[in-house]
């Protein structure tokens, strides 16, 4: 009986440490992204590629979209770097977050609207609180850069 109690206590201690280590690893990952962006944790806007004070509605300027692309590429490297990402976005939409193609594509990088929910669910960094709309400039850019970082630029005709 004593062995069972000791084993149970040991197991709970190990699980507790593992859970704590998991939380610690997530914090390290977040801090790593902040350092990668070349910012301090107090400057969370730049660290998370937020270049608008109000994120409700539409209205990212082309300059803000370009800043977001550069920031996202600092977090997730892509083939061709910022120049390639800017070239693809310029060709796809002219850096317009509201761009729409009647064939079923939308936003800065002209994601297939039918594929957007899957891409968003699998590629959105959870602690960044991205908007779920394909027409949100920040969300569209971050998802595109994360996609291109993992799979390359083959999904875009302008690549």
Write out pLDDT tens, residues 60-83. 778 888 989 999 999 999 999 999
Q: Is residue 106 a contact partner of residue 113, using CB atoms and an 8 Å limit?
A: yes
Q: What is the pLDDT of residue 64?
A: 86
What pLDDT sits at residue 49? 75
* 146, two tokens: 């994360």
Beta bridge mates, 92? none
pLDDT of residue 30: 43
Per the CB < 8 A criterion, the answer to whether 140 and 108 are in contact is yes
Q: Order of strands, edge to edge, in the sheet holding 105-106?
A: 100-101, 105-106, 111-112
The pLDDT tens digits of the residues spanning 17-53 come to 344 443 433 443 444 444 444 444 446 556 677 766 5
Beta bridge partners of 142: none
Phi, psi (degrees; rounded to nearest 5) at 155: -75, -15
pLDDT of residue 58: 53
Please state, in angstroms and rounded to a whole number, the distance separating the CA atoms of residues 132 and 23.
25
Domain ranges in the chain? 44-151
CA–CA separation, 37 vs 72, rounded Å?
9
SS3 (DSSP) at 69:
helix
What average pLDDT does this structure show over 135-156? 94
pLDDT mean over 102-118 = 96
pTM of the model: 0.69
Alpha helices in the chain (DSSP H): 2-36, 44-47, 62-75, 81-93, 116-123, 137-151
Mean pLDDT over each residue of the chain, to the nearest integer: 76
13 pLDDT band (50/70/90 cuts)?
very low
pLDDT of residue 128: 85
């Amino acid at each position: 009986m004593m062995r069972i109690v000791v084993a149970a206590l040991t197991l709970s201690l190990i699980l507790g440490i593992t859970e704590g280590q998991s939380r610690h690893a997530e914090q390290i990952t977040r801090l790593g992204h902040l350092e990668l962006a070349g910012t301090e944790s107090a400057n969370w806007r730049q660290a998370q590629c937020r270049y608008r004070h109000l994120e409700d509605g539409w209205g990212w300027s082309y300059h803000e979209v370009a800043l977001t692309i550069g920031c996202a590429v600092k977090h997730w490297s892509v083939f061709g770097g910022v120049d390639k990402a800017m070239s693809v976005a310029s060709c796809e939409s002219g850096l317009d977050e509201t761009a729409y193609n009647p064939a079923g594509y939308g936003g800065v990088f002209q994601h297939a609207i039918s594929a957007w929910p899957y891409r968003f669910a699998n590629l959105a960094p959870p602690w960044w609180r991205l908007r779920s709309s394909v027409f949100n400039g920040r969300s569209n850019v971050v998802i595109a850069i994360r996609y291109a970082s993992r799979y390359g630029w083959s999904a875009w005709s302008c690549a």
